[in-house]
A and B are shown apart, each in its own frame.
Chain A
Amino acid sequence: MSQNTPEAQARIDLLVIADLVEPGSRVLDIGCGEGDLLHLLTTEKQVDGRGIELSQRGVNACVTRGLSVVQGDADEDLEDYPDDAFDYVILSQTIQATHNPREVLAQMQRIGRRIIISFPNFGHWRIRWQLAIHGRMPVTHTLDYQWYNTPNIHLCTVLDFTALCNELDLYIEQTRMLSGDQDWRVEVPGRRANLFAEQAVFLVSRDPVASPAKS
């Protein structure tokens, strides 16, 4: 039953991301929270990890765990990182809360060889249902806010995100669709994925010749 709590959802999301990262690589986790993913990647995948986190509380928690994390903001501080600094730049459940997602994605593209992004899919049938039938802004367990207090100011669907990747010449290496305890892989997300995925994880790279990701 705990599979449907936001915490369990978040954990599935992190495990899927960790699965996509090659061992021993250099990783930047943007919006790393209290460092759960970085800790997982450091211990399980021996990555050389760095984090950016907005909240002081989060940064302190990370520093206490021995993680190298700086206080900063995805919208403001990515420009401080040099080109090609990381093998993977990760943004989990954060892009929808940024002010300028396109610019954030472009910066990630510059900093890292590969990008891993997870986000809640606004195309999920339950969300569509709430808006279509009830005429109210959707509130779900993955998007548990009212319209007036949500930090999620730039929500998108799986198809929207795919379109932005194409626009930025980002090569989609792999996508993982998550719903409840389901986790399935699709080559190119289509209408079905857009309807049934509650969350999506995209592994993209700026270069189609990059070695294929671990599947």
Chain B
Amino acid sequence: MSDTQNTNVTNDAPADINHQAKSATFGAEEPLTLDSGVVLSPFTIGYNTYGTLNADKSNVILVCHALTGDQHAASPNPASKKAGWWAALIGPGKTIDTNRFFVICTNVIGGCHGSTGPQDENPETGKPYGMSFPVITIADMVRAQTKLIDRLGIESLFCVIGGSMGGMQALQWAVDYPERVFSAIPLATAPRHSAQNIAFHEVGRQAVMADPEWRDGDYYAHGTGPDKGLAVARMAAHITYLSEAALFRKFDRNLQDSENLSYGFGADFQIESYLRYQGSSFVDRFDANSYLYITRATDYFDLARDHDDVLAKAFMNVKTRFCIVSFTSDWHYPTAYSKEIVKALNAAAGNVSFVEVETDKGHDAFFLDEPEMIATLTGFLSSAAQQRGLMS
């Protein structure tokens, strides 16, 4: 946890826009009771904010990150110095306009970028949690976010937005705290993890666990970790984020270094080299145990489960305005999943708009500057802002 400023967040200085990573720690008096029944305490939420909180605190947009994202949505990552993962969308004058909105992005509970996760010290043992960290769910991630929102003195969120696992959080927010969410934008997401989604995650977890350096999760003291296993997990997962058309367009069968095949097992093909790079750069920024816990959380995600397995029942009495976006070439969370959400919202007389964006960029399209997505989000946000009385 670098760059930590401990928060005693004062209301007179809410507009901290220096983009320093922030964190809020919740002690014994504010425990987090998880879906599993385990009580996590103490815990810390790492977060970042952009823009200025208005006087009545009505201009808050909560941005939820995807599986391996972090709280640095719009500012350079302090470790890698790379641009924020959603810098294309968040900033002054951009789609999520920080001149108008106060943007909060938290690292999810169980994560490894400032929020309490398996790499942190278990107060009972004085050692890192490792696999003694409790299993967390998407609802737990949201519950942890509510603690931070409460501490910042924010009653309701103007919008909760996120793609993929971030979209799951947006849905969960609206279902669990309907009166606190004015609008929600779940992008490229699903109402539940499918067998195929779980299958890919299980391959990734098994790759981590098969690495002898994993040591049943107790690798922290050894100075090494299951890098090879985690890299393989990332490589497999990364394929699911791209479309076949994009792979063909970017790589086809192009050779990496020469005109000729090597007749060996080096990275002859550009796609191999690309995936190896994705795998090895991932291990530098992500904790393997965290990956196990967060993939598990998405596998457990099933919004209908607590509502008699009828998705529409989850949305009864939800007045939140939804804007659902899917992408034609996303086979990880295909349009059919988004349509299930739309159908359930319609059945519950919900307020929903839905757009399927035509693109060959696959699941990861939501990270990108997709013109149709931008147009939809801009339109939805500005009309919602008008309805919320946020016009400047």
Q: Which residues of A contact B (CB under 8 A)?
A: 26, 50, 56, 59-72, 80-82, 85
Cross-chain contact of A81 among B321, B346, B355, B386 (Cβ < 8 A): B346
Cross-chain contact of A80 among B346, B380, B382, B386 (Cβ < 8 A): B346
Query: Is B358 an interface position by the 8 A CB rule?
Result: yes
- Cα separation A67 to B10 with both chains bound (whole Å): 38
Closest chain-A Cβ to B161's Cβ sits at a distance in Å of 14
Cross-chain contact of B355 among A56, A66, A67, A85 (Cβ < 8 A): A56
Are B358 and A56 interface neighbours, CB within 8 A?
yes
Are B357 and A64 interface neighbours, CB within 8 A?
no
6 inter-chain pairs at a CB distance below 8 angstroms, sorted by A residue, are A64-B383, A68-B352, A70-B342, A70-B346, A71-B354, A82-B312
- Cα separation A69 to B383 with both chains bound (whole Å): 13
Q: Contacts A60-B379, A63-B380, A63-B383: A68 and B343 contacting too (C-beta < 8 A)?
A: no
Nearest 10 A-B pairs (CB), nearest first?
A: A64-B379, A66-B383, A70-B354, A80-B343, A63-B379, A82-B347, A63-B353, A63-B380, A60-B375, A68-B351
| B265-306 vs A, Cβ < 8 Å mask (1 yes, 0 no) | 000000000000000000000000000000000000000000
Query: Is B151 an interface position by the 8 A CB rule?
Result: no
Given contacts A56-B357, A65-B383, 12 further A-B contacts (CB under 8 A): A59-B353, A60-B375, A64-B375, A64-B379, A64-B380, A64-B383, A66-B387, A71-B354, A71-B355, A72-B354, A80-B339, A80-B346
Query: Is B372 an interface position by the 8 A CB rule?
Result: yes
Q: Which residues of B contact A (CB under 8 A)?
A: 312, 321, 323-324, 339, 342-343, 346-347, 349, 351-358, 372, 375-376, 378-380, 382-384, 386-387
Closest chain-A Cβ to B326's Cβ sits at a distance in Å of 9
Closest chain-A Cβ to B352's Cβ sits at a distance in Å of 6
- Cα separation A56 to B323 with both chains bound (whole Å): 14
- Cα separation A26 to B349 with both chains bound (whole Å): 10
- Cα separation A130 to B386 with both chains bound (whole Å): 51
Please indicate which of the listed interface residues B324, B355, B384 has the most CB atoms of chain A within 10 Å of its own CB: B355
Are A68 and B372 interface neighbours, CB within 8 A?
no
Cross-chain contact of A62 among B339, B353, B372 (Cβ < 8 A): B353
Q: Which chain A residue shows the least CB distance to B346?
A: A81
Contacts of A72 in B (CB 8 A): 354
- Cα separation A76 to B354 with both chains bound (whole Å): 15
Contacts of A70 in B (CB 8 A): 324, 342, 346, 352-354
- Cα separation A132 to B347 with both chains bound (whole Å): 49
Are A85 and B379 interface neighbours, CB within 8 A?
no
Cross-chain contact of B386 among A26, A60, A66, A68 (Cβ < 8 A): A66
Are A63 and B386 interface neighbours, CB within 8 A?
no
Contacts of A81 in B (CB 8 A): 346-347
Closest chain-A Cβ to B338's Cβ sits at a distance in Å of 10
Contacts of A64 in B (CB 8 A): 375, 378-380, 382-383
- Cα separation A59 to B325 with both chains bound (whole Å): 11
Cross-chain contact of A85 among B349, B356, B376 (Cβ < 8 A): B349
Are B346 and A82 interface neighbours, CB within 8 A?
yes
Q: Contacts A56-B357, A69-B353, A70-B342: A63 and B347 contacting too (C-beta < 8 A)?
A: no
Q: Which chain B residue shows the least CB distance to A80?
A: B343
- Cα separation A162 to B180 with both chains bound (whole Å): 49
- Cα separation A71 to B386 with both chains bound (whole Å): 23
Closest chain-B Cβ to A113's Cβ sits at a distance in Å of 14
Are A60 and B376 interface neighbours, CB within 8 A?
yes
Contacts of A67 in B (CB 8 A): 353
Contacts of A26 in B (CB 8 A): 349
Please indicate which of the listed interface residues A59, A65, A70 has the most CB atoms of chain B within 10 Å of its own CB: A70
Closest chain-B Cβ to A69's Cβ sits at a distance in Å of 5
Contacts of A66 in B (CB 8 A): 383-384, 386-387
Contacts of B342 in A (CB 8 A): 70, 80
- Cα separation A60 to B356 with both chains bound (whole Å): 10
Contacts of B356 in A (CB 8 A): 56, 71
Contacts of B347 in A (CB 8 A): 80-82, 85
Closest chain-B Cβ to A88's Cβ sits at a distance in Å of 15
Q: Contacts A56-B372, A80-B346, A82-B346: A63 and B351 contacting too (C-beta < 8 A)?
A: no
- Cα separation A125 to B197 with both chains bound (whole Å): 60
Contacts of B357 in A (CB 8 A): 56
Contacts of B343 in A (CB 8 A): 80
Q: Contacts A60-B375, A70-B353: A85 and B346 contacting too (C-beta < 8 A)?
A: yes
Q: Which chain B residue shows the least CB distance to A86?
A: B349
- Cα separation A61 to B343 with both chains bound (whole Å): 21
Are A63 and B323 interface neighbours, CB within 8 A?
yes
